[in-house]
């Protein structure tokens, strides 16, 4: 049986003018809509108390398990307003399936995919006025789940909260669509075999921050991680997958090894780039192949992809003692640009949705 979601509307939603000013320049992850969804899980009750309710702080006991042992997972996907005013999400079931896989890895209870999708739908319908119009704007949905039991023993929690919040989104990078620079992390890895790299769990991001900080200190925007065993194979960035465009017009992305997050944007690009006429390969990519290929011209373009960043060109790769730039480091390469446009066109309803990726919400 699917979850019953009660709706308790806010009595003090933000005034229209305030919302309009946020939607005019939303940035990323800074402002949240008037409501949120919560549902609770206990061993005896299963998932229950599902509701849309006014957005508000959560009160947590200082012994709440997640604050100590990081039993927490999250997702990210977007809702788009099409030209006719309708609102659609992009592949929400795929996010729901990944959420369930992350839950299994973190010993959290699984939320059925249909409930995951219905929870987001209920929030979007309640806060429909917060879905921006036009351009490349969207409403970013952030479902998450964490151990809310107040208990310091180390074991899977018996009291878990599922929550969905939403935030109007523009460009993830403040400078807009311009090539970002990447710092190669040689001291830190993101994920090891048998670890949690393929799960979207909070701890992965916590562990990436010192490397991201190093990237910023080195004058770069983002950090790239290598595999933890040989320190040789390119995995991904802290929050995005990577693609390489070769001089024969084929495109390559690191294969899924269990330590890389299986990006839904990554998977969609495999399909779309094929339809644009590119040969797409999933295989291991060595860091030397990146360095040498960028220098020789064998690699013509590099781009990163993810829900928040969509498709973002990568220009410079820097490491201790060297750097190399793909393209002119300033403009967006033609393949990156075509893939980016094709993806955005499907999401915004400007290109036929041949794969049934769009889910109508309202
Ligand atoms: N890799 C990591 C580590 C991420 O956090 C994300 C973002 O969600 C991605 C890749 C891209 O995944 P998706 O395309 O599903 O957003
Ligand atoms: C996303 O793209 O949805 C992400 O989760 C990346 C980052 C904001 C954590």
Instruction: Kindly list the domain boundaries of the chain, sorted by start residue.
Output: 6-169, 180-347
For the segment 350-357, the average pLDDT, to the nearest whole number, is: 96
Residue range 226-284, pLDDT digits in tens: 999 999 999 999 999 999 999 999 999 999 999 999 999 999 999 999 999 999 999 99
Q: Are 117 and 93 in contact (CB under 8 A)?
A: yes
Our answer on whether the CB atom of 76 is closer than 6 Å to any ligand 1 atom is yes
Q: Which has more confidence, 37 or 171? A: 37
Provide the 3-class DSSP secondary structure of residue 24.
helix
Distance set, CA 192 to CA 27, 230, 239, 279, 340 (Å): 33, 11, 16, 30, 30
Pocket of ligand 2 (CB under 6 A): 76, 239, 306-308
How many alpha carbons fall within 13 Å on the CB side of residue 223?
Answer: 23
User: CA–CA separation, 341 vs 253, rounded Å?
Assistant: 19
Is this prediction's pTM over 0.85?
yes
CATH number for the domain formed by residue range(s) 180-347: 3.20.10.10
Q: Give 87-106 pLDDT, tens digit per residue.
A: 999 999 999 999 999 999 99
- Residue appearing with tokens 């993830």: 172
6-169 to CATH, choices 1.20.210.10, 3.30.470.10, 2.40.100.10, 3.50.50.60 = 3.30.470.10
The pLDDT value given to residue 329: 82
CA of 250 from ligand 1 middle (Å) equals 22
Ligand 2 mean position, distance from CA 29 (Å): 10
- Closest ligand 2 atom to Cα of 309: 2
């Amino acid at each position: 049986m699917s979850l019953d979601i009660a709706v308790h509307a806010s009595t003090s939603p933000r005034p229209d003018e305030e919302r309009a000013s946020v939607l005019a320049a939303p940035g990323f992850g800074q402002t949240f809509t008037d409501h949120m969804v919560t549902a609770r899980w206990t061993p005896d009750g299963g998932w229950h108390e599902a509701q849309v309710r006014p957005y508000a702080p959560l009160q947590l006991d200082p012994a709440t398990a997640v604050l100590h042992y990081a039993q927490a997972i999250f997702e990210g996907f977007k809702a788009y307003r099409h030209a006719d005013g309708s609102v659609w999400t992009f592949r929400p079931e795929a996010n729901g399936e990944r959420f369930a896989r992350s839950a299994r890895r973190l010993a959290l209870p699984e939320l059925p995919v249909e409930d995951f999708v219905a929870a987001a739908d209920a929030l979007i319908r309640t806060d429909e006025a917060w879905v921006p119009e036009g351009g490349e704007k969207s409403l970013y949905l952030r479902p998450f789940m964490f151990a809310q039991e107040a208990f310091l023993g180390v074991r899977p929690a018996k009291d878990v909260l599922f929550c969905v919040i939403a935030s109007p989104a523009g460009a993830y990078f403040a400078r807009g669509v311009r090539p970002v620079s990447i710092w190669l992390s040689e001291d830190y890895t993101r994920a090891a075999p048998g670890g949690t790299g393929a799960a979207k769990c909070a701890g992965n991001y916590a562990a990436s921050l010192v490397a991201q900080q190093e990237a910023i200190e080195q004058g770069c925007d983002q950090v790239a991680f290598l595999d933890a065993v040989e320190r040789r194979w390119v995995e991904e960035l802290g929050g995005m997958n990577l693609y390489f465009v070769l001089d024969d017009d084929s495109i390559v992305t690191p294969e899924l090894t269990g330590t890389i997050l299986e990006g839904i944007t990554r998977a969609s690009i495999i399909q779309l780039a094929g339809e644009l006429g590119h040969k797409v390969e999933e295989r291991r990519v060595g860091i030397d192949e990146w360095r040498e290929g960028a220098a020789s011209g064998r690699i013509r373009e590099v781009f990163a992809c993810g829900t928040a960043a969509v498709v973002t060109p990568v220009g410079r790769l820097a490491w201790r003692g060297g750097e190399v730039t793909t393209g002119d480091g300033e403009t967006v390469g033609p393949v990156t640009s075509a893939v980016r446009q094709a993806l955005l066109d499907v999401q915004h309803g400007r290109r036929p949705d041949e794969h049934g990726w769009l889910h109508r919400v309202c």
